[in-house]
Amino acid sequence: MSGKVALVTGATGLLGRQVVKAFERGNWSVKGTGHSRADGSAVLKVDLAKSEDVEAALDSVRPNVVIHCAANRFPDKCDNDPEGTRALNVTATEGLASLCAARDIFLVYISTDYVFPGKPGDAPYGADAPPQPTNLYGQTKLDGELAVLNVFERAGKAGLGTVLRVPVLYGDAEMPAESAVNVLMDSVWKAQEPDAIMKMDHWALRYPTNTEDVGRVCLDIAVKYLSTNDRSALPQILQFSSEDKFTKYEICQAFGEIMGLPITAIEPNTAGNDPNAAVQRPYDCHLSTAALKDIGIDVSTQDFVAWWRWHVRAFRK
């Protein structure tokens, strides 16, 4: 494989930071792009909505692969800013894909398990299962997937653009609010306050997956696809997920046990969806990793509880 240069969008974010580290460990030359948190040197300041910014980054870095992590990824924030969400998750993604296709750059678009409806009994979802998002976030990520695949198809370069769907992520965070999982550790601490009482979802099933593992898989995908002559024979949609299964309440239980803290102030909420609610939350969007396994990529993951014990230095004899 000639040249080993990667460009990672959203490189200052929860996932992007670990993707950068994974490629560095693989002895690639890596540049990241960011926006509000970019320092201008290690991480280029790029507004993905501005094609001239994106073109300048691609032409200066000249990457073999772009890992597109940047997204508006919090469902409640998406609902509060639908136009901004669509601009980043769909329009900017399509623009990036077009510029990559024109330069023969391999693009990996990070998507989500929320492209699926998550109805009881449906999971696990294969990569070829029909998507049916239940919220705006899932819809914009699905539209981003379609934009990427269509751009490369129209350019006659199918296989140069690939989708990687992942579930809820956790890992080394600059602040707990970066992750819908990490932030639950805050909930466990708040539950220690006098008169604290809170409800926590104990209905929807989640498969928290470590950002380091996702970074490693992104590297493995890049190596595999760039070293394959006929990429069109490889799958265009891939999925990666841990097999660790928890409700949010069960994550709080695990954190309480790890920290030696009671969670009696946290009440499990098993109500599930209000049938009259406009947005129905997915119950179980578990992703099948069969497509990755089929092309020989390691889908093993770190153990959730063991990683957290290590992370908070809560070792047991």
d(CA 27, CA 200) in angstroms, rounded, equals: 43
For Cα atoms 196, 197, 200, give the angle at the middle one, nearest 5 degrees: 130
Token digits of residue 24: 């560095």
- Tell me which residue of 68, 33, 74 sits closest to 53, measured CA to CA: 33
- Stated length of the chain: 317
Token pair 């198809």 is at which residue? 153
Strands (E), 29-103: 29-34, 43-45, 65-68
- What sign for the dihedral angle of Cα 244, 245, 251, 253? negative
Dmax over Cα atoms in the chain, in whole Å?
A: 63
Which of 137, 225, 249, 283 is labelled catalytic? 137
Token digits of residue 208: 């928290």
Amino acid in position 30: V
Does the annotation count 137 as an active-site position?
Answer: yes
- Residue 262, number of CB atoms within 10 A of its CB: 12
Catalytic residue positions? 137
